[in-house]
A and B are shown apart, each in its own frame.
Chain A
Amino acid sequence: MRGFRREWGLAVVLGLFLAYLAVRAPGFFQGRQLLALATATAPVLVAAVGVSLVIICRQIDISAGSQFALCSVVLGMAAQRGVGAVGPVGVAVGVGALTGAVYGGLVAGVGLPSIVVTLATMVTWREALRWWREGEFVRDLPERFQWFGLEQTSGQWMVVILGLVVLVTGWVYATYFSGGRFIYAVGSDPEAARLAGIRPRRVTFWVFVAMGGMVGLAAFLNAVRFTDVDPKTGTGLEMQAIAAAVVGGVAVAGGRGNLLWVFVGVILLASIGPALVFLKLPPQWERAIQGGIILLAVASDRLVRGRAGVRERRER
């Protein structure tokens, strides 16, 4: 496939980065620390998969962080009431899918631009949570909620495995199933997709629902790591997810992107913070370096592809 060179460049960058770490700070590769990092990153990965699908469908979601917080709090309240071990997952995914359905309805049904819809809901969810909880944590979660009632290490493995399952499922669906290909078709050209017999509005709606569900699941995978739920959780998650998608080569114009490369993007962006600590560099550089990587990634994309004759799909 033409145009996958830049993604290989990303793999090389990640490889060099990890090799450098292996030489300068082998402590980074201790099993426990890697597992902890992977556990903390799994929720971001799941959210990034959902957001990537939305971007591939030529839409965007900048409210993932607020959705995540909403799902987390409702999930915590449900767990408090004790709805079994499976109940909280259902609640989180359900709330997420419901918010996704609201977006889908407004975007695909009414025809509002997704960036405006999610801009509005981002503020609305966040402030509604503040009003409702007044900053109070959801405490006293049942014993068997944390780490699924397992031991910490097995619980951590469980979180990582679930994250990977979502990634692989999403990738297989998007790559090999007709429903997944429809997402690419709609993102690439909605009108052409319609003429080919696809219903773009229906596809868009369900992509948003799926994204919401995944954000809910991400909230669940995050919540099991703690004994309480912070209503301010997930701040900045939307930017992390979008950044991972962009670094992983998902085109904001829609229609192009591979979830496996998004995975590489997630790993790269997530390793920077801990790597700085292990390299004994000032950790407050994390954000600046991440921003630099995003800009470099998109810039190299364009440089590799060449500038001449690129068709302009300027829509966001």
Chain B
Amino acid sequence: MKARTTTVGGGGSSWLRIETVLVVMLVVLLVVFGRYGRNFWTAENFFEVIRLTVEIGLIAMVMTPVVLSGGIDLSVGSLLGLCGVVFGKLWRDVGMTPLAAAAGAIGVGALGGCLNGLLITRLRLPPLIVTLGSYSLFRGLAEAMTGGVDNFTGFPRDFLFLGQGYWFGFLPAQVPIFLGVSMGVWVLVHRTTMGRALRVIGYGREGAIYAGLPVDRHFLVLYTLAGLVVGCSSMIYVAHVGQAKADAGTGYELLAVTAVVLGGTSIFGGRGSVQGTFLGLMVLAVLKNGMTLSDLPSELVGIVTGLLLLTVLTGEVLMKRIGKVGREGEG
């Protein structure tokens, strides 16, 4: 049902790559909102946009290699909620220091991701199904631990700094973390053998197996890593909002996948880039922020995001058809 046309590793040879489209779109958005938005074009707002993007951004970054390998992780939003609740429990009820509690919560994140990875590799189950199950499981555990109503607040100042503070008076505290993780994921995807292997697996799993790639080991590491990053994202979320609740991160999995797909990564795997995801993320963030500052109703953001996703993909498919590319199978 799909046309596999590009070569492994390449992102299409024409100048009309998705990255170009996204950069143009971003520039247009910046100009338009600079004209109509109040205080859009200010340094404070610039950092605010980035600050609000970090939680989703971290998840989208680590979702990129997952989608690239032909998988998907629907459990990230639920896991974010669970990690937050675990953090709150460890800190308030067990009496750990925030640092130890955060380490514990991030550990739970990695454990959750590892569970996904084990089910996917040991039992050869499709990631969509496994993470659909853990989507319910993680959220359910978070609800069960809090009785559905309990929430945790009143965290110490130096923990809240992680989500609300500024370095040197202007740089939001979470931005260096985001940049660090992004660089890490970029190196993983584009500069390591594991990244290359994931791409090959996404392009054709059978072939990867026959080529002797350790598919299972890569998957296990990948999903564990995803859980780990979700744990970090959860800590930033809790510090940013100032409370930990069971329903934190609802719908994040879809926003993250949207950013990844908008950034040109094929949902079937094998093709995509981390910088694409970054651009997709920026388009979504600027759109949301600019529309708010232009006094447009917030619901429009969702509508436009959805339509944007469909338009970009349709355009991509049509461009490919026009460009003499043979269609495989039924197309």
CA distance A284 to B1 in the complex (A): 41
User: Which of A124, A253, A282, A287 has most chain B Cβ within 10 Å?
Assistant: A287
Which segment of B55-63, B97-105, B135-143 sits at the interface?
A: B135-143
| Interface membership of A26, Cβ < 8 A | no
Which segment of A72-80, A157-165, A209-217, A238-246 sits at the interface?
A: A238-246
Chain B residues 283 to 311 lying within 8 A of chain A, measured CB to CB, are 297, 299-303, 305-307, 309-310
Contact of B314 among A112, A242, A314, A316 (CB under 8 A): A112
Interface size for A (C-beta < 8 A) is 54
Given contacts A120-B310, A314-B70, contact A294 B303 (CB under 8 A): no
Q: Chain B: which residue is nearest A132 at the CB level?
A: B299
Contact B123 A299 (CB under 8 A): yes
Interface string of B1-19 (1 = CB under 8 A from A): 1110000000000000000
| Interface membership of A106, Cβ < 8 A | yes
Which segment of B125-133, B157-165, B168-176 sits at the interface?
A: B125-133
Contact residues in B for A112 (Cβ distance below 8 Å): 310, 313-314, 317
Contact of B257 among A110, A119, A307 (CB under 8 A): A119
Contact B134 A285 (CB under 8 A): no
CA distance A79 to B1 in the complex (A): 40
Contact A131 B297 (CB under 8 A): yes
Contact B330 A200 (CB under 8 A): yes
Contact B309 A119 (CB under 8 A): yes
| Interface membership of A99, Cβ < 8 A | no
Contact B317 A242 (CB under 8 A): no
Contact A295 B133 (CB under 8 A): yes
Contact residues in B for A239 (Cβ distance below 8 Å): 132, 135-136
Contact B205 A312 (CB under 8 A): yes
Contact residues in B for A284 (Cβ distance below 8 Å): 140, 143-144, 146-148
Interface string of A277-292 (1 = CB under 8 A from B): 0000010111111111
CA distance A253 to B330 in the complex (A): 17
Contact of A119 among B134, B144, B258 (CB under 8 A): B258
Contact residues in A for B331 (Cβ distance below 8 Å): 111
Contact residues in B for A60 (Cβ distance below 8 Å): 128
Contact B302 A126 (CB under 8 A): yes
A40 to chain B, nearest CB (A): 19
Interface string of A57-83 (1 = CB under 8 A from B): 010100000000000000000000000
Contact B313 A116 (CB under 8 A): yes
Contact B137 A116 (CB under 8 A): no
CA distance A295 to B78 in the complex (A): 15
Contact residues in B for A282 (Cβ distance below 8 Å): 144, 147
Q: Chain A: which residue is nearest B126 at the CB level?
A: A252
| Interface membership of A128, Cβ < 8 A | yes
Contact B140 A122 (CB under 8 A): no
Chain B residues 231 to 269 lying within 8 A of chain A, measured CB to CB, are 254, 257-258, 261, 267-268
CA distance A194 to B330 in the complex (A): 8
Contact B126 A314 (CB under 8 A): yes
Chain A residues 269 to 310 lying within 8 A of chain B, measured CB to CB, are 282, 284-292, 294-295, 298-299, 302-303, 307, 310
| Interface membership of A123, Cβ < 8 A | yes
Chain A residues 101 to 132 lying within 8 A of chain B, measured CB to CB, are 106, 110-113, 115-117, 119-124, 126-128, 130-131
| Interface membership of A151, Cβ < 8 A | no
CA distance A194 to B125 in the complex (A): 28
Contact residues in B for A116 (Cβ distance below 8 Å): 261, 267, 309, 313
| Interface membership of A143, Cβ < 8 A | no
Contact B143 A302 (CB under 8 A): no
Contact residues in A for B144 (Cβ distance below 8 Å): 282, 284-285, 287-288
Contact A123 B306 (CB under 8 A): yes
B173 to chain A, nearest CB (A): 30
Contact A294 B302 (CB under 8 A): no
B96 to chain A, nearest CB (A): 24
Contact B132 A246 (CB under 8 A): yes
Contact B313 A302 (CB under 8 A): no
Given contacts A289-B140, A312-B124, contact A120 B129 (CB under 8 A): no
| Interface membership of B329, Cβ < 8 A | yes
Interface string of B205-219 (1 = CB under 8 A from A): 110000000000000
Contact residues in B for A290 (Cβ distance below 8 Å): 136, 140
Contact A130 B132 (CB under 8 A): no
Given contacts A119-B258, A194-B330, A286-B140, contact A252 B135 (CB under 8 A): no
| Interface membership of B72, Cβ < 8 A | yes
24 contacting pairs across A/B (C-beta < 8 A)? A110-B317, A112-B314, A113-B2, A113-B268, A119-B254, A120-B306, A120-B307, A123-B306, A127-B300, A127-B301, A127-B303, A128-B303, A130-B299, A200-B1, A239-B135, A242-B132, A284-B147, A287-B143, A288-B139, A291-B135, A295-B133, A298-B125, A302-B124, A312-B205
Sorted from nearest, which 6 A-B pairs have the closest CB atoms?
A288-B140, A291-B137, A287-B140, A127-B302, A291-B136, A124-B306
Q: Told that A119-B261, A316-B72 touch, could you supply 8 new A-B pairs with CB distance under 8 A?
A: A112-B314, A116-B267, A124-B302, A200-B330, A246-B133, A284-B143, A284-B146, A288-B143
